[in-house]
Every structure is written in structure tokens, then in C-alpha cells.
Structure 1
């Protein structure tokens, strides 16, 4: 089983690439964001710790659970709070991913296990993935996409970009770079080439 970690800036078009990989035979795609959402549900250890740490913040729904929009606003506008949240959630996600990777490897049925995570490099997933891939899309294209598809303001995009790694750091840590500035077909062809190469 080959375990690939995929990362890239917000708006890089990772969803299409992950969708393409998910259709490959004997492949499982895991999304760190979805895992985090599960692990932050009421009744979990993560949720209890978030309540303890952020109890004074207006980020909770009346019926329990987290208001994702308000939570994002809080952690993207305050670096200290973003770090606190990451310190609660990311180690829990990592433990889950390690367990699932071990289980899939032992099962022997998967050819490919893919993990997409924004903080793949910062959280040292190179220690458990066989290789890291970087989805590269120019900043102007990403900016345009985020403003059009998510309705983000210029200021919000600036804040998000400022909180992410530079292109140089991504390239330094990732074995494969998929250039996603052209057509979808071109990106898919690069993926197929990368998958056909021996590690």
C-alpha cells in the first residue's frame, strides 16, 4: 500500500484531484478536515477540551455543537486562539490517521491510501506518509476562486493566505508537485504519471 499525503494552499483545487484519486481501484481518500469535524462533535474528548478552552467565545450552537462560521472567524482573527485550537484538534486527528493507516496496511486490500490535510507539513505527516504531494495553483487564481465560490472579501483571503506556508516551503517538503494552473485533464495526467513512477 502506498500512503500519499496531499496538501496545498486554500483554493488550489484539491477537491477535484482528490475526487479523481478516489475513483482509482482499491483507493481510500481521507480528509483531515472531515476527521477533525467528527472528532469535534459533542461527546468527544476534543469537544470537551474546546468547551474548557473557548467557553467564553460565541462559537457554540444553542442545541450544542460548534458554529463553524463563528469558530473560523475567531481562530482566523487571533493567532493565539488558532494555535490553541490546533493544539487540541491536530494531535487527535494524527492519532486517528495513524490508526487507520495501520489498519488499512494490515488489511492488505488497499493499493493507495490518500490523506489531504492543510497542515500536512507543519504536523510532520512525512513521518507516517510514504510521500507528500503539493497541489500548486498560482495565488491570483486561488484568490479569484475563493472570492467567487465562497464570497470571501480581499481582507479575508489575505488573512488566510498569510496563515499558510509559502510556495517554497511546500516545494521543499513535497516529493511530487502537481501543477494545477492548466486544465483538469492536464492535472489528471500528471497524477497518473506520478502514480506510475516507482517511489
Structure 2
């Protein structure tokens, strides 16, 4: 069993799950929850909660981008915010500088809570995990890989996306090389779920 810097036993495993759109991360997360009683934290969901009215993150975003990004009910209009930062690297960097540290701090605190509760497996999911600096938080990073034609078929069938939209989404995410270089293990998820489960079983 690994030791942490304080010399105490580290009995909860923390795994980072990442991969491009359409690679099948959701199926992997569901399996880890049902079969291994994993606590799954999706960073996009954490970010959404931290951006609700009353949260410190919400106030800093409004101060930076103005009240025009708010809906009539006073909550953030995420689509309007996305339009504000889209295509403007400086504005996007400012938004990320507000949100990302808050999300990471929440995750650190949640890991500490779950470890105290005796949880055995904690999973962090995000497509942008390789660029978000979570290597120091995770014991292992897993790249869920699927061939591009498979990803495109899944996205068309499950979400009704066009080829153009899929191409734009893939282009906005880390490259396959970046995913592979930043992760400890690759889960091949182009085939059947049973095959994917076998690979997970070998790692856990």
C-alpha cells in the first residue's frame, strides 16, 4: 500500500479518467460505480455547481465579465458566457483562472472527506484532464481510447451530432498523443463493453 507524504497509509485509490468526446467514458464510469463502488466526480458538474449564484466563483465571474452574462433569474447564462469567451484566448484564460483553481480545491477537499469515510475508489473524470494539472492528485491516469470512426458513429447515434460539429469538438480537445503521454494506462474501448470490463479488471 502506498504511503503519503505524512507517512500514513493511503488506502483509497484515486484514478483520473479522460478521453475525447465519444470515446465511451460514461460507460466506464457507470461500470466503476456499479462494480467497484467507486465515487465518481465529473469536473464539469463540479464547475457548474461552483458557478451557481451565491458561490464565490459566481461572484468573481460576474465581476470579470459583467451582469450581461446572467439570466433573468440571476443565474449564469452558460451559453452567453461561452459566446463571450469563444475565440478570445485572453478572456478564456481569465475564466479558466477563476474556475479551475476553485474546482481543484473542491476536489482535494472531497477526496479528503471520502478517504475519511472509508471510500476505496475515487474517480475523477474530465476530457481536459491532461491539461488541467491533476497528475499530483491522481494515483493513476487512464485514457479511454476509441477509434475516430467509432466515436463519430456513437455521437451521431446517441446525440444526433453532424460530422461538422463532431470535427469541431474533436479539434477543441487534447490530441491523442497528449492523452497517451499524460496517462499511465490506455483502455481500448472501440469494441465490446465486455472487453473493456476485462481491461479494467486487470488494472483493479
Q: Could you say which TM-score interval applies, normalised by the shorter chain?
A: 0.7 to 0.9
Name the CA distance, whole Å, in 2 between partners of 1:174 and 1:36: 23
- How many residue pairs get aligned? The number is 193
The answer for the alignment partner of 2:48 in structure 1 is 37
Residue-by-residue CA offset, 1:60-118 (whole Å, 9 max, x unaligned): 321121233444444444443333322211110100111111222233x1111111122
- The unaligned stretches of length 5 or more in structure 1 are none
Residue 98 to residue 158, structure 1, CA distance change in 2 (3 Å): same
Residue-by-residue CA offset, 1:155-184 (whole Å, 9 max, x unaligned): 433332222111111111111111110011
Name the CA distance, whole Å, in 2 between partners of 1:145 and 1:53: 38
Q: 1:88 and 2:102 equivalent? A: no
Residue-by-residue CA offset, 1:107-166 (whole Å, 9 max, x unaligned): 3x1111111122212121110110100000122222333344334344433332222111
Q: 1:127 and 2:97 equivalent? A: no
The answer for the alignment partner of 2:4 in structure 1 is none
Name the CA distance, whole Å, in 2 between partners of 1:177 and 1:129: 15
Residue 158 to residue 187, structure 1, CA distance change in 2 (3 Å): same
Residue 78 to residue 144, structure 1, CA distance change in 2 (3 Å): farther
Deviates more, 1:21-30 or 1:88-97: 21-30
Residue 186 to residue 128, structure 1, CA distance change in 2 (3 Å): same
- Normalised by the length of structure 2, the TM-score is 0.85
- The unaligned stretches of length 5 or more in structure 2 are 1-11
Residue 25 to residue 11, structure 1, CA distance change in 2 (3 Å): closer
